[in-house]
Amino acid sequence: MSLKEDVGIKAASYVKNGMTVGLGTGSTAYYMIKEIGRKVKEENLNVVGVPTSSTSKKQAEEMGIPIKSIDEVDKVDVIIDGADEISADFQGMKGGGAALLFEKIVATYTDQVIWIVDESKMVDKLGKFPLPVEVVPYGQQQLFQLFAKKGYKPSFRMDQKAKKVTDSGHSIIDLHLEQIDHPEQLAKELDETVGVIDHGLFLNMVNTVIIGRPSGAEIISDIR
């Protein structure tokens, strides 16, 4: 069993009967959705899933998990999602799969946020992984140049030969920063930049991290 599969299955045990569950996106979240689907089928687990992307929605539907959109539920009990990087102080970088906006919206309205990662995602500081910034297509070239001038080494996320289009119809500019010394400052700056819809810095959000290690999964709870 891979480390991603191990943490995906472990995380599914946090999902109890009657819960509304945010279904994250990516190759690690895939195993969590698969396991919840198995429990729905084989153990009569009664849950509602709130998918964070068209990909997760499709997988949940195929697995027979009842789903609702974020606007059809009162609140979400728990969200289980992957991450691209988690720093030593448990700040996250997400969006490698372009699902950052819906993931952040669902996480914002969720009681408990759980991230599942293999140990390669644990870093001292964020930034080796390019920071995804979701932008409105109108004016995106100007924004790209602004980021270049600031030394942020931007690149447009591509899908084959065309610019990647997110589930909400935006583009993604990845910033190749190498090291982010002040994530809160950068998040604030990006939040205040016209044309930026959202970015992959998920700060002060996670409650529990499940880290896949060859020696067995490590669970860190009560982070906040």
Ligand X SMILES: O=C[C@H](O)[C@H](O)[C@H](O)COP(=O)(O)O
**Pairing mode, strands 76-81 and 171-175:** unpaired
> What residues from 53 to 82 belong to the interface with ligand X (CB under 6 A)?
81-82
The amino acid present at 161, given as its one-letter code, is K
Asked if residue 2 lies in contact with residue 217, where contact means CB atoms within 8 angstroms, the answer is no
The amino acid present at 53, given as its one-letter code, is S
Q: Which of 8, 22, 26, 154 binds ligand X (CB under 6 A)?
A: 26
> What residues from 103 to 162 belong to the interface with ligand X (CB under 6 A)?
103
What are the distances in angstroms from CA 196 to CA 50, 98, 164? 25, 14, 15
Tokens 């990006």 correspond to what residue?
A: 190
Q: At what angle do helices 54-63 and 29-42 cross, to 10 degrees?
A: 30
Cα separation, 114 vs 33, in Å, equals 14
Using rule CB under 6 A, residue 98 touches ligand X: yes
Nearest distance, CB of residue 170 and ligand X, angstroms: 13
Our CB check for ligand X shows the closer of 98 and 143 to be 98
Using rule CB under 6 A, residue 97 touches ligand X: yes
Nearest distance, CB of residue 29 and ligand X, angstroms: 6
Q: Catalytic site residue 35?
A: no
> What residues from 5 to 24 belong to the interface with ligand X (CB under 6 A)?
24
The amino acid present at 39, given as its one-letter code, is K
Using rule CB under 6 A, residue 92 touches ligand X: no
Nearest distance, CB of residue 139 and ligand X, angstroms: 23
The amino acid present at 37, given as its one-letter code, is G
Candidate list 5, 35, 85, 103, residue with the active-site label: 103
Q: Residue 109 gets which letter from DSSP?
A: T
- The binding site consists of 25-28, 81-84, 94-97, 121
Return residues touching ligand X (CB under 6 A): 24-29, 81-84, 94-100, 103
- The binding site for substrate consists of 25-28, 81-84, 94-97, 121
